[in-house]
Amino acid sequence: MKVIIVGGVAGGATAAARLRRLDEQAEIVVFERSGYVSYANCGLPYYIGGIIEDPEALTLQTPESFFARFRVDMRVRHEVTAVHPERKSVSVKNLETGEEFEECYDKLILSPGAKPTQPKLPGVGLEKLFTLRTVEDTFRIKDYINTHRPRSAVLAGGGFISLELAENLRELGMEITIVQRPRQLMNPFDPDMAAFIHGEVRRHGIRLALGHTVEGFAEKGGGVDVLLKDEAPLHADMVVLAIGVTPDAALAKEAGLELGLKGSIVVNDRMETSVPDIYAVGDAVQVKHYVTGQDAVISLAGPANKQGRIAADNICGGDSRYSGSQGSSVIKVFDLTAAATGVNETNARKAGLDADAVILSPMSHAGYYPGGRLMTMKVVFERGTCRLLGAQIVGYEGVDKRIDVLSTAIRAGLTAIQLKDLDLAYAPPYSSAKDPVNMAGFMVENLAKGVVKQWRMEDFSGLPRDGSVTLLDVRTPQEYMGGHIEGFRLIPVDELRERLEELERGKPVYVICQSGLRSYIACRILAGNGFDAYNFAGGFRYYDAVANDRRLVERSTICGMDK
């Protein structure tokens, strides 16, 4: 059996290694148009910033090491220019010599990945305008920085690569501006959770121009002007386009394979395309979202590696199935860690799900043990069924641990209430006896059973200010003086029972505290005394961060960027 693989990075390299482990006799040929195979895309920004010092550390395998261990014929700088399903062959061009030839296959795996999205705008292609996807892109940016010592950069786009690159360029001392059309960074996060990411980015001196449309680029004054719609241009010494990636499915399209979202390659759960004996894996394929069941394109290394393994299994006579992607991801943003899994509340509602969420601010470990840090968790679930839909966490230590637990819970089909039953490891330096994941489960159970009712940030603008409801802050006087919401009266929770006569019966009471815990206790006191009480999800700390971010983003859309 002869298997040809187009693309030798995550999915392609995994498929090649798995094929060899399953079939010692198969002939396996990989064509990779770049000069590198099996490299770590996610590490590229950290090489530019000097965190990763050795460029060889970016490549997990070389063609030589791959051949030595797996006897796989890895041909770099070879571009497949056409696929011919009718005669089961591919046309290939040697980019070093210019030689063109045709190679036959019994089975074909397409793993072309995705390419940086480059809109057809004036100025695309300028020397000082870069993209970051391959090792060659990385070396080009690194060499430019080392040679020209740019002092400023504009990054167009606010996803993973943009934020990681922004951090690394900022650590090199450069002035950084991020500009993009959406009014938030990191679309896997809801706007309220993205507010914490915005705050960390701003704290490190990066300017945000959110809600702006880039219309082109122009060389000016030895640098580049980024032309914005209805705004003055942004000027910098260099620009990086990081507005996302597009499935690189040109070969599949020309070969007549069925295409789906964003021009991606349609595959079934065995990673088979619409044409017999042709498989496809990685960033170029359309998959099912594990939570919604809807078609999706999810460009992450984890799914690509799993898909490569599945395709190899099935080529070798197995019956492996891909059950879908749920978009689990984590990113370092300076001192902060932000992670997400499943669907956020915004996308859950777009998918037609009746979504709700609990928001909590637990410590990373036991409060009495030194060094604990707050994290903000948002756990999204379906009303009625309490099906667990997704989660987002922003914080410091322990964020990755909790998101992995929640990701596993989603994959296992647990409800949000069943999170309370998880038996999670506890020692004071690592967690609390009631882990934050357990706490989320307790909160969802309380909502489902009517033990507490909550009100959300989205309800704030509709709160009556005509005296028909009571607005109550139950923090300490010191906390209240440090910042409060206008119209909320102060009664500390520990004084509430003795001061109930100050509240007018018959009026709903909307309660807030710093994190949501004391206001929950206050709501139980009020409910036990005949009041109709509602707890604010997230607390004043959360409210203040989100409200402040909204003001800055709004100013950004008016004035060009926030300060």
Q: Which residues are part of the catalytic machinery?
A: 42
Residue 471 makes CB contacts below 8 A (sequence gap 6+) with 463, 485, 487, 488, 489, 510
Work out whether strand 265-266 and strand 78-84 pair parallel, antiparallel, or are unpaired: unpaired
Nearest to 133 by CA among 50, 206, 41: 41
Point out which residues pair with 218 in neighbouring strands: 225
Nearest to 332 by CA among 78, 42, 101: 42
- Asked if residue 417 lies in contact with residue 426, where contact means CB atoms within 8 angstroms, the answer is no
> Nearest Cα to 329, choosing from 138, 161, 441, 196?
161
Tell me how far apart the alpha carbons of residues 44 and 52 are, in angstroms, rounded to a whole number: 9
Cα angle: 214, vertex 547, 467; to 5 degrees? 140
Identify whether the C-beta of residue 385 lies closer than 8 Å to the C-beta of residue 362. Answer: no
With beta carbons less than 8 A apart as the criterion, state whether 161 and 255 touch.
Answer: no
Query: Helical H runs in 299-344?
Result: 301-315
CB 81 within 8 A of CB 176: no
Measure the CA–CA gap between 543 and 461, rounded to whole angstroms: 12
Task: Give the residue among 59, 112, 42 at the shortest CA–CA distance from 83.
Answer: 112
Q: Which single residue is written with the structure tokens 């990763």?
A: 52
- Is the CB of residue 179 less than 8 Å from the CB of residue 154? yes
Distance CA(193)–CA(391), nearest Å, equals: 10
CA dihedral sign, ordered 55, 60, 65, 67: negative
Query: What CA–CA distance (Å, rounded) separates 417 from 394?
Result: 22
User: What count of other Cβ atoms lies within 10 Å of the Cβ of residue 334?
Assistant: 16
Question: Which tokens sit at 236?
Answer: 């910098």
Q: Residue 392 to residues 197, 383, 430: CA-CA distances in angstroms?
A: 12, 18, 20
Residue 445's SS3 state is helix
C-beta separation of 48 from 136 below 8 A: no
Identify whether the C-beta of residue 309 lies closer than 8 Å to the C-beta of residue 374: no
Report the C-alpha gap between 259 and 266 in whole angstroms. Answer: 5
Extract the tokens encoding 185. Answer: 């960074």
The helix/strand/coil state of 195 is helix
**List of residues 6+ apart from 468 with CB closer than 8 A:** 507
Other CB atoms within a 10 A radius of the CB of residue 190 amount to 22
Q: In the structure encoding, which two tokens stand for residue 447, read together? A: 């909502």
Tokens matching residue 364: 């990373």
